[in-house]
Amino acid sequence: MTELLRNLWYLALPARQLKRGGMHAKVLLGDPILFGRDRDGGVFALRDICPHRGIPLSDGTFDGCEVMCDYHGWRFDTSGRCTEIPSLVEGQKLNLSRIGVTRYPCREVQGNIWIYMHDGKGDDDAALPPVPVAPDIGERPANVQLAMDFACNIDHAVIGLMDPSHAPYVHTSWWWKSKARRRLRLKEKHYEPTPMGFRMARHPNPRGGQVYRLFGKDVTTEISYALPGVRIEHVKGDRHSAVSLTAVTPLTATETEVHQCLYWTVPWLGVFTPVVRRLARTFLGQDRDVVMRQQCGLRFEPSLMLIDDADTQAKWYFKLKREYQQSAAEGRPFVNPIEATTLRWRS
Ligand code: FES
Ligand SMILES: [Fe+2]
């Protein structure tokens, strides 16, 4: 349950949190990471521990080119190589090229910084899988971006977010499906496997949904999930698109950060950004609160249930995870265990 998957991309932080010449320290998958942006604007990530005597490198200084540890002044370049040890005197032979800090591949994409949390075995940047992207929106950053800490293991955050039957109970408010107006409807959606997960096949949006008219005619939606916990919902019409990208990043085995990024191509929708941000915060906050209350019960380690078809996607998530771990342990390619099917539930 608590296994954190390695050798995958994780959304680490919004790019705007990292200024030129700046550093940002953060624990991801239980590892201390130092993020930085050099003076040319490039981003990098290093293990945030000085190899000399273990003090966090983020306690030191960064001049836009090198990080200097503030204990004994050792210097490291942005690839983690040690470049200077001030205490050395002439004649003292120490091969600096053999001293270094672990480096993690890092990319800035659509306003986010992603990190490839490797297992320390390979370091070939060219062989890395692509970073997840919001389709159809180019390089622009998110119009609305928020992050929330969920006090739970990544698994509960992921299955809580993908859960199709909680919405009428959890996402209620006066403006959206109030408890009094709760009416469950039959849902029937087709699913198909993708390289690292599955997707709800593209389907037409309900007629009469006023909001969808913004996107033009023939508005359709596709929702995909991929390991380690990336959900991309893509609404597309003949004129415009909107994308909701949710990325779940474990900080430790019991703390998880959920990033929510909303992108759209409708230009004048910008005036509504504060409203959309507020709604998104309320919505994600409801997911966080229910998962927090769930922890009260989980403390007693009850056995849990996943039922068909409402929890089938949660079952798939665990299946994908198991196959990912098994294929890595056996040194063979990942084979997606999911088959195309139609799921039916009421929500
Ligand atoms: S602990 Fe970093 S230079 Fe000594
Ligand atoms: Fe939810």
The minimum-distance atom of ligand 1 relative to the CA of 53 is 1
Closest CA to ligand 1's atom 4 = 72
Coil/strand/helix, residue 57: helix
Determine whether the shortest distance from the Cβ of 53 to ligand 1 is under 6 A. Answer: yes
Q: Which residues of 230-260 are buried (b: 16+ CB within 10 A; e: fewer)?
A: bbbbbbbbeebbbbbbbbbbbbeeebbbbbb
Whole-number pLDDT of residue 174: 65
CATH code, 144-346: 3.90.380.10
The minimum-distance atom of ligand 1 relative to the CA of 74 is 3
What is the rounded CA–CA span in Å between residue 310 and residue 316?
Answer: 12
Closest CA to ligand 1's atom 3 = 72
Q: Is the peptide bond before 309 cis (omega within 30 degrees of 0)?
A: yes
Determine whether the shortest distance from the Cβ of 85 to ligand 1 is under 6 A. Answer: no
**Pocket mutation for ligand 1, best pick of 72, 75, 84, 96 (most atoms within 8 Å of C-beta):** 72
Ligand with minimal distance to 157 CA: 2
128 CA to centre of ligand 2 in angstroms: 31
70 CA to centre of ligand 1 in angstroms: 7
pLDDT band at 7 (very low <50, low <70, confident <90, very high): very high
Q: For residue range 44-65, what is the model confidence (pLDDT) as tens digits?
A: 999 999 999 999 999 999 999 9
96 CA to centre of ligand 2 in angstroms: 51
Ligand with minimal distance to 171 CA: 2
What is the rounded CA–CA span in Å between residue 333 and residue 192?
Answer: 20
Average pLDDT, the chain: 93
The minimum-distance atom of ligand 1 relative to the CA of 55 is 1
Whole-number pLDDT of residue 173: 76
Cα 245 versus chain centre, distance: 8
Ranges in the chain annotated CATH 2.102.10.10 = 8-127
Determine whether the shortest distance from the Cβ of 50 to ligand 1 is under 6 A. Answer: yes
Distance (Å) of CA 345 to CA 171, 186, 200, 206, 231 = 17, 6, 14, 17, 20
Q: For residue range 72-112, what is the model confidence (pLDDT) as tens digits?
A: 999 999 999 999 999 999 999 899 999 999 999 999 999 99
Tell me the sheet residues that pair with 259: 147, 247
**Pocket mutation for ligand 1, best pick of 34, 47, 48, 50 (most atoms within 8 Å of C-beta):** 50
Closest CA to ligand 1's atom 1 = 53
pLDDT band at 120 (very low <50, low <70, confident <90, very high): confident
Tokens of 342: 């139609």
Ligand with minimal distance to 176 CA: 2
Hey, how many other C-beta atoms are within 10 angstroms of the C-beta on 95?
7
pTM for this model (two decimals): 0.95
Tokens of 235: 């609404």
How many residues would you count in the chain?
Answer: 347
Tokens of 248: 């779940």
Cβ(171)–Cβ(289) under 8 Å? no
170 CA to centre of ligand 2 in angstroms: 7
Angle between helices 273-298 and 154-162 (to 10 degrees): 120
CATH 3.40.50.2300 for domain 8-127: no
Tokens of 136: 């159809």
Ranges in the chain annotated CATH 3.90.380.10 = 144-346
Residues whose CB is less than 8 angstroms from the CB of residue 202 and which lie 6 or more positions away in sequence, other chains included: 220, 221, 222, 236
User: What number is the average pLDDT over the span 108-128?
Assistant: 88
